[in-house]
Amino acid sequence: MITLRYHIVSITAVFLALAVGVVLGSTAISGRLLSGLSDEKNSLAQQVSDLQNDRNALDAKLTEADKFAASVGPLAVKDRLKDRTVVLVTTSDARPADRDALSGLLKSAGAGVTGEIQLTDAFADPSRGDQLRELVARLQPAGSQLPTAADPGTRAGGLFGALLLLNPTTNQPQATAEESASALAGLSNAGFVKATSGLKPAQLAVVLTGGAAIGDSAADRASTIARFATQLDRSGAGVVLAGSTGSANGTGAIGVVRADTNATSVLSSVDNSDTSAGQVVVVLALNEQLEGRSGRYGVAGNAEASSPGTAS
């Protein structure tokens, strides 16, 4: 006779057998799974190691290439800017080492560097744009005319063009020494610029900036510098906007310029001025500006060529 106890024992035995089967099956599957994951981990580790070795090899090649460019740079630019004058305009994020290297190359090219003016962080600060615009209007030299655009970058570019660049037609200053001194003092006292003593106007200018701007106001800051450099170029014989890695993207001043065909039609840009090769290109681009031509040079995707004369 089959009793209730028999049923309970039978059912318990069935479930116990199922449990044992599940445990044994999962153990076997887990072993195979863990073995597969271990093999995949080892494969990925090897790929990472190979990529790291490739990167180290490329870094070594780049270092050697930069050393070579630094050694031949003075020869490559020799007499390219003979008897020309250049003023340096740097932003607050420009690297002093890049400025010094570029200044040395300009001298090797035969150019006279007439001084440097640094645009402080406040210059491109959107919260101080109205103050800069109003100050520029008050400091305008007699007889000069500021651009009609309302943005502070363009307006400041018009003022600085009169202060820093010689008239491209007459090769004469566009403001008196007293007007320039007064304007620069006003801008300096307001915290917008820092200028070297004895600064004089020049035929050409380099606007040297850093990489991509960061922060909530990055786009506005980049736009101010881009418009400033573009307007500055319209005031003299030529200007080159030079920046380091990242400057050609959307939050960099060069990126803003290269997205504007009106700007690229007059202003030359170099996106790798943090390298010796890029610094040579800045000098070559200045020489090209004297010939009335402009270009987008460097290694970024929106560059047209690595240097003047190499466009495909």
Do 165 and 271 belong to one domain?
A: yes
Do 162 and 24 belong to one domain?
A: no
- Nearest Cα neighbor of 276 from 76, 55, 54, 56 is 76
Rounded to an integer, what distance in angstroms lies between the CA atom of residue 13 and that of residue 119? 85
Query: What is the structure's pLDDT at 76?
Result: 87
Residue 306: inside a domain, yes or no? Answer: no
Do 137 and 147 belong to one domain?
A: yes
Residue 223: inside a domain, yes or no? Answer: yes
Rounded to an integer, what distance in angstroms lies between the CA atom of residue 131 and that of residue 191? 11
Do 147 and 176 belong to one domain?
A: yes
Do 35 and 171 belong to one domain?
A: no
Query: What is the structure's pLDDT at 71?
Result: 72
The residues, ordered by sequence, that sit 6+ positions from 150 with a Cβ below 8 Å of its Cβ are: 133
Residue 304: inside a domain, yes or no? Answer: no
Query: What is the structure's pLDDT at 298?
Result: 96
Q: Final residue of a domain: which of 19, 42, 76?
A: 76
pLDDT tens digits, the chain, 312 residues: what are they? 556 555 565 676 556 655 545 444 556 566 777 777 777 777 777 676 666 665 665 555 456 556 656 677 888 899 999 999 999 999 999 999 999 999 999 999 999 999 999 999 999 999 999 999 999 999 999 888 899 998 999 999 999 999 999 999 999 999 999 999 999 999 999 999 999 989 999 999 999 999 877 778 899 999 999 999 999 999 999 999 999 988 998 889 999 999 999 999 999 999 999 999 999 999 999 999 999 999 999 999 999 999 998 655
Do 125 and 261 belong to one domain?
A: yes
Do 89 and 236 belong to one domain?
A: yes
Do 284 and 173 belong to one domain?
A: yes
137-181, pLDDT tens digit by residue?
A: 999 998 888 999 989 999 999 999 999 999 999 999 999 999 999
Residue 122: inside a domain, yes or no? Answer: yes
Question: What residues make up the domain containing 115?
Answer: 78-297
The structural domain count of the chain equals 2
Query: What is the structure's pLDDT at 24?
Result: 47
Residue 123: inside a domain, yes or no? Answer: yes
Do 115 and 261 belong to one domain?
A: yes
Residue 311: inside a domain, yes or no? Answer: no
Do 132 and 261 belong to one domain?
A: yes
The residues, ordered by sequence, that sit 6+ positions from 13 with a Cβ below 8 Å of its Cβ are: none
pTM here?
0.81
Residue 312: inside a domain, yes or no? Answer: no
Q: Which residues pair with 239 in a beta bridge?
A: 205
- Written as one string, the DSSP assignment of 73-138 is HHHHTTTTTTT-EEEEEEETTS-HHHHHHHHHHHHHTTPEEEEEEEEPGGGG-GGGHHHHHHHHHH
Q: Final residue of a domain: which of 51, 76, 101?
A: 76
Residue 161: inside a domain, yes or no? Answer: yes
Q: Final residue of a domain: which of 50, 76, 102?
A: 76
Rounded to an integer, what distance in angstroms lies between the CA atom of residue 259 and that of residue 250? 9
Do 70 and 114 belong to one domain?
A: no
Do 69 and 145 belong to one domain?
A: no
